[in-house]
Amino acid sequence: MKLLIALYFFILATIQLGLLLGIYHYHRSQGELRPNRYWMSSLMVNILALAIFGGGILVIQGLERPEFNFTIANSLFYIAAIFQLLFCKSLSGPISKRLQYGFALSIIIFVPTFEFLRVYGNYEIRTAFMCVIAVVFFSWQIVMLRRKRSSEPSQQLMYLQYATAVELLFALGRLAVLASNGFTISKVEQIPQLLILLTIGQLVINTLSYIALGGYWAEKVNLANAKSKSENDEIKSLLLEREALISGLLKVNKTVATGALSASIAHELNQPLGASYLNIQFLQKKLAEGGLSLEQNQEVLSALLSDNQRAASIIRTLRSIFSDGKIGAEQVELGELIESVLKIAKPEIQSKNIQVVLGLSSSTLVNVNRTEIQQVILNLINNAIQALTESGATPKTLMIESRDISEGVEILITDNGLGIPAEAQSHLFELLANSNKKSGMGLGLWLCQHIITRHGGNIRYQDAKDGGAQFVIFLPCSY
């Protein structure tokens, strides 16, 4: 009889241990969501209680005054029940310090009380004492679970509530059997079979309660994973929208950056086109008169070819800056790239009587998106032209330098204009930030920073040594 009862306890302890290990490894493989510490503690303490109680039954001599390990086992059962109760309470909000201290005090009171009953009481009193505590705890637990389910429906909490209700019925059944028993139980063999069945049944249902708790946290993990997936999809969508917006801003800024130069560009194109037109008229006249010599023919054709190449060069530069294609990174020599941008800005620079000083000492190739870096340099040159136009500096000077430094290359664009006020410098690269410019949308410098940062570099502003503004661009050798 003792061996069979002990075996029941050991089997339940083994099942609960397997549940504990399974839950531990499952939740360890998940994200940041972790099981509630109260029910995990309850499960661990309950396993220990079952093992000690089962071992105590094997060596028990009599039920009048059993060994001290029964006090230990029942105290652990009491602590496990408190942890489970605290778990149910935590579902509706944080556990107050007052409640925690209250339960801690109850444990301190429980241990000597049960020890007193072990020494001076009998089996019926000890069992009734534990059943009454179980009835109170189970009733309280059912109320808290119903309250939680009313605000957050959960199938697993429903299972836990039903399991707790069955445990409550088993505890009441054990009290009823004890009340109806007509003799004093002093040996294990005298315990009524129905009482044993109800006790084992309560422990089995208790195991199902822990399984329901494990299912509840698996349910929470699945919901958290689904929410995380939804949030990730939303973030991806927002990032795509952001890239589309930035791409649109880049296109808009190309127009803004070159808009101020449009008249000069038209003038620059008109020169070779006008010259070609005059040469064609001259060629037509001579052909009609029949008096075109070989030398004149060669001279006119050479002039037409030169003017055509000049116009084509301007158009190629414009096309590279306004290109909408997804051009990838390529090895670029900065000196050649800067000079290609200056071809566009040259007419405007000359019309404003601005002197350009070049100090292109860098020989390092950088791996960049050519059109994007052209746009950055054009933005900064355009800003410098406007600043110099509004200043009274004489002479007006624009200095463009490139130099090799450790880990990359620096480009310095400096003018001797009025510079940028100190109060504006702190938000100079912010999107739509107000500037001292009379026009524009506040996109240029923000886009410059975005492009350079995307290339793994950085851009900064500093006051020029002799007055004016200086922008310094750093680009790594590779990114």
Q: What is the CATH number of the domain that holds 355?
A: 3.30.565.10
pLDDT digits (tens, 9 = 90+) for 138-181: 999 999 988 888 888 888 888 889 999 999 999 999 999 988 88
Based on the structure, what is the number of domains in the chain?
A: 3
- The answer to whether 348 and 270 have CB atoms below 8 angstroms apart is no
365 and 282 inside one domain: no
User: Residue 378 domain-assigned?
Assistant: yes
Q: What percent of the chain has pLDDT over 70?
A: 84
Query: Tokens in use for 289?
Result: 């008169």
275 and 371 inside one domain: no
Q: What is the pLDDT of residue 438?
A: 46
> In this structure, what CATH number is given to the domain that contains residue 10?
1.20.1070
Higher pLDDT, 106 or 428: 106
88 and 218 inside one domain: yes
Domain that holds residue 446: 329-476
User: Residue 244 domain-assigned?
Assistant: no
Q: Which residues contact 211 (CB under 8 A, 6 or more apart)?
A: 19
57 and 72 inside one domain: yes
User: Residue 240 domain-assigned?
Assistant: no
Rg (CA), the chain: 43
- The answer to whether 260 and 385 have CB atoms below 8 angstroms apart is yes
Total-model pTM: 0.51
User: Residue 252 domain-assigned?
Assistant: no
130 and 200 inside one domain: yes
160 and 194 inside one domain: yes
279 and 393 inside one domain: no
Indicate whether 446 pLDDT > 90: no
User: Residue 427 domain-assigned?
Assistant: yes
303 and 349 inside one domain: no
Indicate whether 66 pLDDT > 60: yes
- Tell me how far the alpha carbon of residue 57 is from its chain's centroid: 55
272 and 230 inside one domain: no
User: What are the φ and ψ backbone dihedral angles of 318, each rounded to 5 degrees?
Assistant: -60, -45
288 and 363 inside one domain: no
Among the candidates 185, 216, 235, a domain finishes at 235
Q: What is the pLDDT of residue 479?
A: 47
339 and 310 inside one domain: no
**Cα–Cα distance between 357 and 140 in angstroms, integer?**
86
309 and 348 inside one domain: no
Alpha-carbon separation of residue 298 from 251, 302, 304, 460 (angstroms): 43, 6, 10, 53
